[in-house]
Structure 1
Amino acid sequence: MMMKRILLACISLFFLGCGNFLDINPESEVVNDDMFSTAEGVEDALYGVYMSMVKEDMYGGDMSVLFPEILAQNFLTDEGYWIYLSRLDYSDVYARVSCKDMWIQSYLVISYLNNIIENLDQKSVKDFKYYDLYRGEALGLRAAIHFDLLRLFAVHINSTNENAKAEAIPYVTKYTFKVTPFSSVEEVYEKVITDLKEAEICLVEDKILMPKIRKGGGKGFTGARELHFNLYAAQAMLARVYWMKGDLTNAKKYADKVIQSEKFQFVDQEDLATFMKRRISLSETIWGLYTTEISSFLYDMHMVKTLMTLPSNWKLLYKNTEGPEPGEDKRLSAWFLSKENTGNSKDICVKIMDESNDASEYSGGAYFGFSMIRIPEMYYIMAEALLEEGDKEHARDYLDAVVSARGMVKFADRDTGKDITLDDIMNERRKELFGEGQWWFCLKRLNRDVYVHALDATLKGSDRIYTLPLPTEELDPR
């Protein structure tokens, strides 16, 4: 079994070449008996996890942008293995090969986290000043990675295929040689939520550690909390998990916690073009991952090799949405541009990438990296939950908060007396989160039909198009 081989690999070497975290933290080390005897050792282990998460097989490429955006048809490709994903055709062996490394790397990192958690179980707050923060981060990260694996590789909880729902993914909580059996979709949700709720309790100190106005440049483990899985990351992830599950009552509860904290504000419109470009916003980012590499990865895929291209009709997403008054959706000009490439004009999404990857060129307070979750998503969840409750006026208020922040005419000021719809919220979600790897999950949650550009055909929503293939090794008899 693949899982057993992963765990065997972990015994010999824990973290491979993780490098420095923000250039201020010690390099990750090979695991030894003494690593968890000091706070510095625990922190090194956690830094190693974060640096492993930003490898291209995980959130440094495949899981954050490449795969979900191609699946969602936000980007097109005719490259080798990826073309099968662009067609939502997972029957070919190449589709399994494409997904294999993402699966392996995710469970490898989960095994690192389980090792940290098990060692922390033998300690207490008497041993480490920031014991609760260490434990909260590890539990939160374990939940977040499992949740994304669930969203990618398992059927949705509303599927009518009971056999498929009964065996979703393994939820691994032990650092062991033993093979972890698959849990059902419902069981994985329960375990994700349990870990996130415990993380929320452990991370309560972030109420103090994360002030409302953050200027960046934080040092030490309690500095730069946006780069750690923090209290508000736990609450925002709970909102996202409950939303994906279809429990809008609880989704609303946790989204409201994040909003009411008043720790996250929309950026000024004049900063719209730069606040996400290879950096983590100190205003909007609830949790982000530090890396200097994702910009070059995306630029190489999108601009240099032209392995990811925008569909011909992408601009229509940002048209005819500003209402009757003269105006524009400022995200159109801020996040996209046309550039000459080998003599041909090419539309590119510059939202989270930059031609330059020189860290010395940017001296502002923000950190290099990308956002895992941002404050606008909490407003969309609130809007949808209130709409379901029948509170259409307040639902519109939450949607309009994002709409007006992006320089558009509020829905309330458009057709008088017109209520917003779920489609209005979905359209705004897609425009705001374009390039951030979330749209495919929005479609999957509602089992929407998908127009597939490579086929010039619309595929009916089904488990088949919304469930990535497990690596062949995981299909061996257990």
Structure 2
Amino acid sequence: MKKILLLSCVSLFFLGCGNFLDINPESEVVNDDMFSTAEGVEDALYGVYMSMVKEDMYGGDMSVLIPELLGQNFITDDGYLTYVSSLNLAAQPARYVVKDMWIASYLVISYLNNIIDNLENKSVKNFKYYNLYRGEALGLRAAIHFDLLRLFAVHIKSTDENAKTEAIPYVTKYTFKVTPFSSVEEVYAKIIADLEEAEKCLSEDETLMPDVRKGKETGFTGARELHFNLYAAQAMLARVYWMKGDLVNAKRYADKVIRSGKFRFENKENLATFMKRRVSLSETIWGLYTTKISSYLYDAQSLLFTMYLPNGWADVYTTTSTSESEKDERLKAWFLTKANSGLSKDIFTKIMDEKNDVSAYTGGAYLGYSMIRIPEMYYIMAEALLEEGDKEEACVYLDAVVAARGMTKFRDREGKLEISFDDIMDERRKELFGEGQWWFCLKRLNRDVYVHALGATLKGSDKIYTLPLPSEELDPR
């Protein structure tokens, strides 16, 4: 019988301080009275966030390494990862290398369900920030299930009806009982329901999150961009509906985030640094605090052969401007050429760099990684408007990002009468390079994929767009 992999004894991280920027993520304790105080609930949520930034989740593998290898933005010579890079996902080594993401994700989901269960008999009478606690837990539960769905299940438009019937388990109870697999449609419905409830619970963020954030905030209601906040719920709903193919609702939620006025594009002069090891105070809708993603992923490029740029990688940034002198500013801002053992090597530095000295960091932003940023909302708006036939307004939203990156707007380019869907896709890839999103863009469209390791193009299919379940999840033969 299929079963979820859980540890025999699940415990929550207990973090005994009010600000998780200073916590010790290694401390653990099982405390029956943990949820009797607001501090206990907050510590439990901090523990969840710190679990999420371990290497087998969003501290490396699930945020960047695996999806970027799948999307062919990087390739690898590292053992079992070569099966992922070559999209040979049916092979046993591929099953082995992605197993830890599955295990870690469901373990964190169990932590969240424990929090949610313990909040059921509580209210704002017990905890001043009860709605924030519940909203964050529900939103995180939905976000993690969503990533599991788009990694390990076929797309909702797959023609394999049997595969769509059993997608992933959507676990909503803190229990060791087996949770049956839900269909793709059912999982989407449950994700959306959790996110909609989270949006209601997190309404206080309208006042808690200032329009202009300066950083260095403390306490549970400070640094809300490091928590799953109101705008994270709305942005995730936009992303979920977009992946599902419902552009009407995707547009509705993307518009909410944009119209909130809480997020703005960073000055192009700061393009090389505003995401480097940090959560942007301007563009990040929701990010995770971590001090380690830089060293883990930078070393994977510079010292090891775990992740390196393929031949012709810079062609992604070819500009469609008619000006021969115009270059995409992101190309020189987010990559560098480094001498290594007498050879030159191209290194991706957009979200990481060689230096990882936390004590030397004096910037106002928080150390960490962006889970979702404002440019994505503009791409969703542009695509939705283009589908509706409003090409002029679609161009306005696409040009907003293009201009922020120092490029000539599409509407000002000679001979460019209107934008196309491919223009939006190209800009998505350029902007979100290294953030683990490109493979999902391809999967949504069932696009053919040129695989660098094979030197060949593989036809779009469930076979190359569905990670294998851990062997322990399969029915015994």
TM-score range, shorter chain: over 0.9
CA deviations on 1:177-201 (whole Å, 9 max, x unpaired) are: 1100000000000000000000000
Q: 1:400 to 1:5 in 2, by over 3 A?
A: closer
Q: Give runs of aligned pairs for residues 274-423 of structure 1, distance below 5 A.
A: 274-324=273-323, 326-416=325-415, 418-423=417-422
Matched residue SS, 1:6? coil
Structure 1 Cα separation of the partners of residues 289 and 154 of structure 2: 31
CA deviations on 1:126-158 (whole Å, 9 max, x unpaired) are: 000000000000000000000000000000000
Q: Give runs of aligned pairs for residues 8-87 of structure 1, distance below 5 A.
A: 8-10=8-10, 13-15=11-13, 21-23=20-22, 29-87=28-86
Contact 1:200/1:231, CA 8 A, preserved across alignment: yes
Contact 2:169/2:182, CA 8 A, preserved across alignment: yes
Q: 1:403 to 1:225 in 2, by over 3 A?
A: same
1:325: Cα distance to partner?
A: 6.7
Contact 2:5/2:103, CA 8 A, preserved across alignment: no
1:31: Cα distance to partner?
A: 2.6
1:323: Cα distance to partner?
A: 3.6
1:8: Cα distance to partner?
A: 2.4
Structure 2 Cα separation of the partners of residues 39 and 158 of structure 1: 44
Q: Give runs of aligned pairs for residues 171-250 of structure 1, distance below 5 A.
A: 171-250=170-249
TM-score, normalised with respect to structure 1: 0.97
Matched residue SS, 1:9? coil
Structure 1 Cα separation of the partners of residues 7 and 101 of structure 2: 16
Read off the aligned partner of 1:386 and give its amino acid letter.
Answer: L
Structure 2 Cα separation of the partners of residues 375 and 332 of structure 1: 20
1:304: Cα distance to partner?
A: 1.1
Contact 2:13/2:43, CA 8 A, preserved across alignment: no
1:322: Cα distance to partner?
A: 3.4
1:251: Cα distance to partner?
A: 0.1
Structure 1 Cα separation of the partners of residues 119 and 101 of structure 2: 27
1:364: Cα distance to partner?
A: 1.4
Contact 2:145/2:170, CA 8 A, preserved across alignment: yes
Q: Does 1:447 align with 2:442?
A: no
Q: Does 1:6 align with 2:12?
A: no
Structure 1 Cα separation of the partners of residues 322 and 66 of structure 2: 33
Contact 2:25/2:50, CA 8 A, preserved across alignment: no
1:477: Cα distance to partner?
A: 5.0
* Corresponding position of 1:252: 251
Matched residue SS, 2:454? coil
Structure 1 Cα separation of the partners of residues 78 and 25 of structure 2: 39
Structure 2 Cα separation of the partners of residues 191 and 358 of structure 1: 41
Contact 1:25/1:220, CA 8 A, preserved across alignment: no
* Corresponding position of 2:118: 119
Read off the aligned partner of 2:309 and give its amino acid letter.
Answer: L
What is the number of residues matched between the two proteins? 476
Contact 1:6/1:107, CA 8 A, preserved across alignment: yes
Matched residue SS, 1:8? coil
User: Taking every aligned residue pair, what percent have the same amino acid on both sides?
Assistant: 75
Task: Answer with 288-297 or 84-93: which moved more.
Answer: 84-93
Structure 1 Cα separation of the partners of residues 263 and 47 of structure 2: 27
CA deviations on 1:273-293 (whole Å, 9 max, x unpaired) are: 000000000000000000000
Read off the aligned partner of 1:92 and give its amino acid letter.
Answer: A
Matched residue SS, 1:458? strand
* Corresponding position of 1:467: 466
Read off the aligned partner of 2:245 and give its amino acid letter.
Answer: G
CA deviations on 1:47-86 (whole Å, 9 max, x unpaired) are: 0000000000100011100000000000010110000001
Contact 2:2/2:475, CA 8 A, preserved across alignment: no
Structure 2 Cα separation of the partners of residues 376 and 9 of structure 1: 41
Task: Answer with 352-361 or 16-25: which moved more.
Answer: 16-25
Structure 2 Cα separation of the partners of residues 167 and 4 of structure 1: 14
Matched residue SS, 2:462? coil
* Corresponding position of 1:144: 143
Task: Answer with 468-477 or 374-383: which moved more.
Answer: 468-477
Contact 1:281/1:366, CA 8 A, preserved across alignment: yes
* Corresponding position of 2:268: 269
Structure 1 Cα separation of the partners of residues 37 and 81 of structure 2: 44
1:295: Cα distance to partner?
A: 0.3
Matched residue SS, 1:112? helix
Structure 2 Cα separation of the partners of residues 107 and 2 of structure 1: 14
Matched residue SS, 1:445? helix
1:32: Cα distance to partner?
A: 1.8
1:29: Cα distance to partner?
A: 4.4
Q: 1:3 to 1:366 in 2, by over 3 A?
A: farther
1:27: Cα distance to partner?
A: 8.0
Matched residue SS, 2:355? coil
Matched residue SS, 2:351? coil
Structure 1 Cα separation of the partners of residues 427 and 53 of structure 2: 28
1:18: Cα distance to partner?
A: 11
Matched residue SS, 1:345? strand
1:2: Cα distance to partner?
A: 8.1
Structure 2 Cα separation of the partners of residues 45 and 415 of structure 1: 56
Contact 2:152/2:168, CA 8 A, preserved across alignment: yes
Matched residue SS, 2:158? coil
Read off the aligned partner of 2:12 and give its amino acid letter.
Answer: F
Q: 1:251 to 1:361 in 2, by over 3 A?
A: same
Structure 2 Cα separation of the partners of residues 109 and 26 of structure 1: 14
Matched residue SS, 1:134? helix
Structure 1 Cα separation of the partners of residues 376 and 397 of structure 2: 11
Task: Answer with 111-120 or 297-306: which moved more.
Answer: 297-306
Runs of 4+ displaced beyond 4 Å:
1-5, 16-20, 24-29
Contact 1:335/1:350, CA 8 A, preserved across alignment: yes
Contact 1:68/1:438, CA 8 A, preserved across alignment: yes
Q: 1:342 to 1:325 in 2, by over 3 A?
A: closer
Structure 1 Cα separation of the partners of residues 69 and 170 of structure 2: 26
Read off the aligned partner of 2:73 and give its amino acid letter.
Answer: N
* Corresponding position of 1:98: 97
Read off the aligned partner of 2:217 and give its amino acid letter.
Answer: G
Contact 1:322/1:329, CA 8 A, preserved across alignment: no
Q: 1:239 to 1:130 in 2, by over 3 A?
A: same
Read off the aligned partner of 2:249 and give its amino acid letter.
Answer: N
Contact 1:242/1:251, CA 8 A, preserved across alignment: yes
